[in-house]
A and B are shown apart, each in its own frame.
Chain A
């Protein structure tokens, strides 16, 4: 599915990702943990194609196709979805309008028919109900004035509606209360399937109790410095990142 080889990413004058290699096969969930400032969000932006995040070396492929040559919206149409650590506010554009525009743009890019308004509303009502999101909230400008937790929940709703193939969750658990964490995790787990893969960035073991990862990687100073099974997350919880300072 996703294959990253010796990736280097520069932001402005600074190299943040320094030779990172990672591969996430279809059907698997990989967790990325690591200290603040390690480059986790930078990696997720580079995968999504954010302007200003310049890939200066290495490769990123999704099912063998080079992602770095594609625009962000083209990557999205190929199935890349990034749940933002800090979701943006979109003044003046109701959530419903935004999401329908996005869904139809993706479908058009894939040569599929647009979703008509009634079918779209049915889909979004169903997904919103599962995530316990009040439908009225979708009529408001997207994320404007929403609480941190509401924004995160809205990210997962968008993910559920857009039905991507490769999911990147950048600290989706931060800002969520205990009930919301469970609801959001259930939403994410519902999307696990043999033809999807996920990269879950988090600081906390608790999210991984809900979303069980197949592998855990430690990202420090722009590289993967350790990889292991779910037990690695528990070990990090106990001993922290100090042991990797020298490796980085």
Chain B
């Protein structure tokens, strides 16, 4: 059951619904009476520049589910660090599309993947699936910027598998959509492999942003560090589902998970389900989960100094969220992410 299957078959029954435990907060079945027709190819000449345009050496573009040039798979060889932009653009109205992409990092390869989900349309349904494999000692930093239309339904899924000593670092930033989910599943072999799995959500209006992750620790000596922060305004909803499973014999696993959210209006909502499922004995695991409001006294203090309330709220919220952005290693991407957060926090709720 998945959005991809529904798009492929045209069967609404394939859509995840609130009856599926992992989708209970992000129901898709109740939203659509029928699966929309397939999106047209789109007009490549009308493409805007992507958010990471100046940072990347190469660009892979999917327009309405079709790759503009080349194959739906790419292998990065060992050598000098590379920077690749991966763009999923929806140039559609009321139609549906699905993209598939496979990325392999050969042993020792180093890549920064600057992924963007961009909208040039409305009320579309977009799904994308990414298959990522890291060879021994390969390093990947994946930064994902999700900027879908307010009335779109969008799901992106990444399956990540790592070889020993690989390093996978990820930051997903999203403002949500009518329904939007970004899900990542990491198969963690241990063996010195390291994972950082960060997220940031800031939906406003009637948007829903859902960050769902699963890390399966399957071998000894693996580390995972996860930090997700969110701020919800208007009637928006934020969903965080983080699951870390430490399988039997995955000893000396070190796994940390933090989720912290700010609710900025009375009608906004956050649903969080942090889970640590530990089946090994010798592990160091911890998680923290907090949901709160802005400090009203600090807000008044800023206003007393002349800062208008809306700007004071944005400033304090930004200061709260920026911890996630600061963990991005690629300096250029970090700047883009910081500006993106600052801009969207200053939009009307």
Contact = CB atoms under 8 A, between A and B. Distances in A.
B178 to A, nearest CB: 31
19 contacts: A51-B300, A71-B309, A72-B304, A73-B309, A73-B312, A77-B306, A81-B304, A82-B304, A84-B301, A89-B298, A90-B316, A91-B319, A92-B319, A98-B305, A98-B315, A105-B308, A105-B311, A109-B308, A162-B305
A77 B315 CA distance: 19
B296 interface: yes
Contacts of B307: 73, 101-102, 105
Which residue of B297, B302, B322 has the most chain A CB atoms within 10 A of its CB atom? B302
Nearest to B312: A73
Interface in B275-313: 295-298, 300-309, 311-312
Nearest to B319: A92
Contact of A109 (B306, B315, B318): B306
Interface in A84-115: 84, 87-93, 98-99, 101-103, 105-106, 109
Contacts of B306: 73, 76-77, 102-103, 105-106, 109, 162
Given A72-B304, A73-B308, A82-B304, 12 more contacts: A72-B300, A76-B306, A77-B306, A87-B301, A88-B301, A90-B298, A90-B319, A93-B319, A102-B307, A105-B306, A109-B308, A141-B319
A185 B58 CA distance: 61
Given A90-B316, A92-B322, A92-B323, A72 B303 contact: yes
Given A88-B297, A89-B298, A101-B315, A73 B320 contact: no
Interface size bucket, B side?
Answer: 20 to 34
A80 B319 CA distance: 26
A90 B302 CA distance: 9
B303 A71 contact: yes
A172 interface: no
A162 B300 CA distance: 17
A132 interface: no
Contacts of B323: 92
A50 interface: yes
Contacts of A93: 315-316, 319
Given A90-B298, A105-B311, A76 B319 contact: no
Contacts of A105: 306-308, 311
Contacts of A82: 304
Interface string B58-87: 000000000000000000000000000000
A16 interface: no
Interface of B: 295-298, 300-309, 311-312, 315-316, 318-320, 322-323
Nearest to B310: A73
Contacts of A71: 303, 308-309
A37 to B, nearest CB: 19
A144 to B, nearest CB: 10
Contacts of B311: 101, 105
Interface in A142-160: 158
A32 to B, nearest CB: 18
Contacts of A103: 306
Nearest to A45: B300
Which residue of A48, A87, A90 has the most chain B CB atoms within 10 A of its CB atom? A90
Given A51-B296, A73-B309, A92 B320 contact: yes
Contacts of A77: 306
B295 to A, nearest CB: 8
Contacts of B316: 90, 92-93
A142 B304 CA distance: 15
Nearest to A50: B300
A80 to B, nearest CB: 8
Contacts of A141: 319
Contacts of A90: 298, 301-302, 316, 319
Contacts of A91: 319-320
Given A50-B300, A51-B296, A76 B305 contact: yes
Nearest to A76: B306
A11 to B, nearest CB: 14
Contact of A158 (B305, B312, B319, B322): B305
A76 to B, nearest CB: 4
A178 B301 CA distance: 27
